[in-house]
Amino acid sequence: MRARIGRIGLRDVAERAGVSMRTVSNVVRGTGRFSEDTRGRVLHAVEELGYRPNTAARRLRTGRSGVLLLAVPELSMPYFAELAGHLLREAAAHGCTLLVEATGGHPEAELEIALGRTDPLVDGVILSPLTLDDRAAARAEVPLVLLGERVHDLPCPHVTIDNTGAAREATAHLLSRGRRRIAVIGRQTVPYAATSATRLAGYREALAAAGVPYDETLAPAVDAYHRADGAAAMRTLLDLAEPPDAVFCFADAMAEGALHSVRERGLSVPGDVAVVGFDDVEAARYTAPPLTTVVPDKEELARLAVKALLERIDGVEDKEATVLVAGHRLVVRESS
């Protein structure tokens, strides 16, 4: 492999991918016609070489910086960290630089970002909000794309998965294994708890379809979706006079905590308690036992979000809000 000193340019990417510089430019900008095979080879070369566009030259030529901003509640949460990685790669594939910020779920921070007040170089924003005030955010002039479960009253694209359907499938899986006393960890009572609401709805739908009544004692409230919250909720469930024989956790991090509490009591998974998670973070493959979990298509989420944002930056936008739904699947491992 030839070593190159200095800035990587379009010519380098074109040589590595075996295509013309014009084709590389078209793939990076998402314009023109090319096959999926060509797109894949160009994007692989872009990532392999670490190609980045000349931001200063682009700004002089187009009036745009090619800088995008991603804002998520917490980068310490494995799901958001992994999703950010996919978005970074997708942005780079389009020749853009992606800045990443954590909002902590604070309404003021989310609003400042939605309104484009954080960095004048940013061309557009991808935001995963928890508590965003839609009425205040309606004043936003910066191109905006939203991620997450909550449906917003804003005229911008919203990228998500079918959370209710995914939760219904996860619960139905446990029911199909003969479990009937199925608990959930992830119910929240705070405002804007869309993850809780959508996934709890799917859980309840699956129970109802199987003729199993909903029992709120099997759905302890949690403050957050961390391992400690999952562990504490699992201890509460195991202290019941009639503990559950299965538990569906609304995030893999909480499922990791639940597994810890089950082992702490000397019980077995899935013998005594089957456990299912949601997110398929990398750690889910290495828990003891490996975790059955819902797999959101993070790559598709990233692709849809970046494409929608670049279209809005280019002035291609609908006046109505658009919901873009990425795929998901349930991967069954030894925990259930």
Q: Give tens-digit pLDDT for 116-170.
A: 887 777 899 999 998 888 888 888 788 999 998 887 778 889 999 999 999 999 9
Q: Do domains 64-160+298-325 and 163-296 have the same CATH topology?
A: yes
Q: Domain 10-51 belongs to what topology? A: 434 Repressor (Amino-terminal Domain) (1.10.260)
Domain parsing of the chain, residue ranges: 10-51, 64-160+298-325, 163-296
Determine whether domain 64-160+298-325 maps to CATH 3.40.1350.10: no
**Among the ranges given (37-46, 49-58, 178-187), the one the predictor scored with the smallest mean pLDDT:** 49-58
Contacts of 121 (CB under 8 A, 6+ apart): 65, 67
For residue range 93-115, what is the model confidence (pLDDT) as tens digits?
888 889 999 999 898 999 998 88
Mean pLDDT of the chain: 88
pLDDT tier at 59, thresholds 50, 70, 90: very low
193-240: pLDDT as tens digits: 889 999 999 999 999 999 999 999 999 999 999 999 999 999 999 999
Select from 3.40.720.10, 3.40.50.1000, 3.40.50.720, 3.40.50.2300 the CATH code of 163-296: 3.40.50.2300
3-state secondary structure the chain: CCCCCCCCCHHHHHHHHCCCHHHHHHHHHCCCCCCHHHHHHHHHHHHHHCCCCCHHHHHHHHCCCCEEEEEECCCCCHHHHHHHHHHHHHHHHCCCEEEEEECCCCHHHHHHHHCCCCCCCEEEEEECCCCCCHHHHCCCCCCEEEECCCCCCCCCCEEEECHHHHHHHHHHHHHHCCCCCEEEECECCCCCCHHHHHHHHHHHHHHHHCCCCCCHHHCCECCCCCHHHHHHHHHHHHCCCCCCCEEEECCHHHHHHHHHHHHHCCCCCCCCCEEEEECCCHHHHCCCCCCEEEEECHHHHHHHHHHHHHHHHCCCCCCCCCEEEECEEEECCCCC
